[in-house]
A and B are shown apart, each in its own frame.
Chain A
């Protein structure tokens, strides 16, 4: 029987609300720093937006992509393209589209796609009384625009697909690339996701669900407190992340740096409620990812939790972890980094996968920020608080659970 092909993570890139590069991002998370600030937006007669959010305020599309390309992209595509280019360079892959790359592809995730494009179109029609919207509205707004730009700019000729699975979108996109490389269909996949959700309509919609954390200038940074007894909800964020996944031998032969092995992918549906999470569905996804990766629960040394800081969601995830890991759960290190980078909806899965991969590679994992009084309902695991977790981590999971009941778990194994 042929030995199954393994998958290496050889490039990481992101656009994040701290505004710096990958090393800066991870260093800040290890220190427990939050990128969340009070976000205010005032547009004419509309009641101003004023919520804690993690916004990529310093993102300069022209600097990242050149002066002309950004005109043809919604902000979510600009963020995604910049992250993909950054991951590509990080992987040490050459520029130039003249090399045939017909077995290299893109697997991308976004929950909302070009929401800002649609909003500006509606503003023109309904507020400004115009009869027309920009002729680029369709190609800016479509959910697969970011993926297609990446495919075009990098010259990738294999599958180019976009997954829209709410808050698990980019985790699903990463997971769905695994069988493509294992089977030989693809050699390299650029994977990840991007989201730019800070439009009036989207922020108001989340406010109406009563799940957004409040805050003012002083308290915004600590608005998102997963697993804490006084947690009050999630904080929206914008950003993008990308990884280069590569067939193991291909990576070794070109002398690429391997951050970690992407070992397993688990995907399940709760099949019972649109928004109420279910421990059984989440536990099954973790079990499938562990088994798919040829791992056991004994091998897992860290979990990057979905942990959004909602009243209802956090205890259910901890219950699911306890179900899967049994007596081992009490010593299992867990952190929820949304406390610092916010909830980037469709992009959050890849951002957290990047953090998980870096934790394995750098042998330290970030804490959950502002977790000073853990909720009793969230007890039973080893919450990382204050200082980062240090040590030889062998394997780790990244959990992503979506509205709609879709659960996605990615399993990574240390390369060292």
Chain B
């Protein structure tokens, strides 16, 4: 699991929902971090933007921080991005 992506997620949730970054751990559920469907869209957008990747629409819905980061870590940067 990429440490930078975990850090990025922590910073984002701190800005948006005032979540303590210490709570953003792989086993934490997105629900307890107040990540609803809209916020998840923003998170995916943020990762796409920062990492220059394209996350497909048909990903399995992540339940935990670990699920989400596995999805993000598994995407390779697209050519030219």
Contact = CB atoms under 8 A, between A and B. Distances in A.
Interface of A: 67-68, 71-72, 132, 134-136, 139
B45 A134 contact: yes
- The 9 A-B pairs at the shortest CB distance, nearest first, are namely A135-B41, A135-B45, A68-B17, A135-B42, A71-B16, A68-B16, A68-B18, A67-B18, A136-B42
10 contacts: A67-B18, A68-B18, A134-B42, A135-B38, A135-B41, A135-B44, A135-B45, A136-B38, A136-B41, A136-B42
Nearest to A67: B18
A71 B38 CA distance: 11
Interface in B18-57: 18, 38, 41-42, 44-45, 48
A139 B16 contact: no
A135 B38 CA distance: 8
Contacts of B44: 135
A136 B41 CA distance: 8
Interface of B: 16-18, 38, 41-42, 44-45, 48
Nearest to B41: A135
A132 B17 CA distance: 24
Nearest to B15: A71
A135 B40 CA distance: 10
Nearest to B49: A132
Contacts of B16: 68, 71
B70 to A, nearest CB: 21
Nearest to B19: A68
Contacts of B18: 67-68
B55 to A, nearest CB: 12
Nearest to B17: A68
Given A68-B18, A134-B42, 13 more contacts: A67-B18, A68-B16, A71-B16, A72-B38, A132-B45, A132-B48, A135-B38, A135-B41, A135-B42, A135-B44, A135-B45, A136-B38, A136-B42
Contacts of A135: 38, 41-42, 44-45
A125 to B, nearest CB: 15
Contacts of A134: 42, 45
A46 B70 CA distance: 43
A72 B42 CA distance: 11
A139 B38 contact: yes
Contacts of A67: 18
Contacts of A71: 16
A283 B34 CA distance: 53
Nearest to B42: A135
Contacts of B45: 132, 134-135
Contacts of A136: 38, 41-42
A43 B45 CA distance: 25
A72 B17 CA distance: 11
A131 to B, nearest CB: 10
Nearest to A72: B38
B1 to A, nearest CB: 24
A177 to B, nearest CB: 29
A72 B36 CA distance: 12
A132 B54 CA distance: 11
A132 B53 CA distance: 13
A71 B39 CA distance: 10
A136 B17 CA distance: 16
B56 to A, nearest CB: 14
A200 to B, nearest CB: 24
Contacts of A132: 45, 48
B4 to A, nearest CB: 22
A136 B38 CA distance: 7
A67 B14 CA distance: 11
